[in-house]
Structure 1
Amino acid sequence: MKHEANAENEVHDVAEFTDAARNVVTPVLQLPEDIALAVVNAFTKIVRDAKRSESATTPDGDGITRFQTFEEGDVYMLEAPFDDFFADRYLMDFYNVEERGVCSRMHMHTGLRFVRMMTGPATRIRVSSLSPFEITGVTGVTPFTLAPFEDTLPDTPPGVVRTRYNLVVPPCSFVDMQIPRGVSHQFNAVGEHAVIDSVHPEESVETFREKMSGFKMMAQTVFLADELPASDTCADLPA
């Protein structure tokens, strides 16, 4: 999938790109504001503590740097892979795109992902893809649903028009997303309180398959745009 295994800003042609599958999204639960805020803050504190930790910001005995940065936010590898277990787990402390002034780019990963998106008060996460989402639910169990909408992917090359499919994680909510390998996605948090708990079930496999030299979120990513788009292309959410 990667042209250069360790490249951290590899860009593929968005005009020619076709998703390998579709993202599957499952609403999980909604919480009272005070509880949601406590949960999100507890997770983001772990990431922020890691950012200040010398041991988390330098390679460990296996050569893994646990704290990293990504376009959507700071990340901390909570649980690392090992020889008998090829998965790992990350926490991501989202940037607020309204403060940052730019959105993350549409991208895909070299291995599949499972993410649980969690929001606190006055915070929403806009999730986007170049293919429609499959939204699941079980009557009597799933507590809420999501309303997908479409717009046009910004900042494409001249003459290239791609439909962008979107949904919004509401405040004080947990929403799961299963992301197959090679499927486009884009997360942007609007508000101060957003975190992702992300499981990478084939981290060691994809690193070996792509011939990468280490576990790096950026190197395990392929972007579909050269530049980060302006914040108004993702912060303008439907009411």
Structure 2
Amino acid sequence: MKVDADAENEVRDVAAFTDAARCVVTPVLRLPEDVALAVVGAFARVVRDAKASAAATAPDGEGIVRSQTFEEGDVYMLEAPFDGFFADRYLMDFYNVRERDLCSRMHVHTGLRFVRMMTGPDTRIRVSSLSPFDVTHVEGVTPFVPHTFEDDLPDAPAGVRRTRHNLVVPPCSFVDVQIPRGVSHQFNAVGEHAVIDSVHPEESIETFRERMSGYRMMAQTVFLAEELPPAATCADLPPGRPGA
């Protein structure tokens, strides 16, 4: 998928891009505020401890740097791939887009992703894609239906219009998203308490396939815009369903 396997800012023409499939979203549960804050805060502390750790910020015996940085936030490779097990697992501590006045860009990955999004009080995550989301709903089990809406992709080139499909993860909730390889997506947290637990089930395979020189999230990413857009393009969430 990549022109330059190790490029950390490879950009494709969004006008010509077509998703290979759709993201599938599954609401998992809602939590009381104090419980959600404790859980999200505990995960965030792992990432922050790693960022301050000499061991996590330097290559280990396999050459892997576990503490990394992505557009949406700081990440920590909690579990690395090894011979016979080609998946890994990252935690991400989201930036609050309103604090830094920047949103992440729409992008695709060279391998599929499984992401569990977790929010605390007064925090929402806006998930976006160039294709509609398929939302799982099992009557009597699924705890809520997330709010969805459409707008125009804000950082498209002049004269190009692409519809952006958006889904809002409400406060104090867990929501899963299955992201097939080559499918556009964009995460932006509005609020202080948001983390994701992300499993990359083909990390070693995609690194070998793309002929990358190491495990770096930025090198496994293809962006669909040149620059990070301002917070106004992702922080303003329209009113949703009650409790959303």
TM range (shorter): over 0.9
Using the aligned pairs only, state the percent identity: 80
User: Could you list the runs of 5+ residues in structure 1 that have no partner in the other structure?
Assistant: none
1:173 counterpart residue number: 173
Residues 83-131 of structure 1: CA deviation (Å, up to 9, x unaligned):
1100000000000000010100000000000000000000000000000
Partner of 1:148: 148
Paired residues in the alignment total 239
Separation in 2, partners of 1:38, 1:147: 25
Deviation, structure 1 residue 238: 1.3
What CA deviation, in whole Å up to 9, does each residue of 1:17-71 have, x standing for no partner? 0000000000000000000000000000000000000000000000000000000
Q: Which residue of 1 aligns with 2:242?
A: none
Q: Which amino acid aligns with 2:40?
A: V
Looking at structure 2, the residues matched to 157 and 238 of structure 1 have their Cα atoms a distance apart, in angstroms, of 25
1:214 aligns to 2:219 (yes or no): no
Which segments of structure 1 move beyond 3 Å, counting only runs of 4 or more? none
1:131 aligns with 2:131: yes
SS of 2:38's equivalent in the other structure is helix
State the alpha-carbon separation in 1 of the partners of residues 34 and 201 from structure 2: 32
How many angstroms does 1:137 deviate by?
Answer: 1.2
Matched, 1:225 2:237: no
TM-score by length of 1: 1.00
Secondary structure of the 1:118 match is: strand
Name the CA distance, whole Å, in 2 between partners of 1:172 and 1:87.
28
Deviations 1:196-234 (A, max 9, x none): 000000000000000000000000000000000010000
Higher mean alpha-carbon deviation, 175-184 vs 143-152, is at 143-152
**What do you get for the CA RMSD once the two structures are aligned?**
0.4
The CA distance in 2 between the partners of 1:224 and 1:49, in whole Å, is 32
| Matched residue, 1:53 | 53
Q: Aligned equivalents of 1:145 and 1:80: distance in 2?
A: 34
Instruction: Spell out the pairing of 1:93-132 with structure 2 (5 A cutoff).
Output: 93-132=93-132
Listed as ranges, the gaps of 5+ residues in structure 2 are 240-244
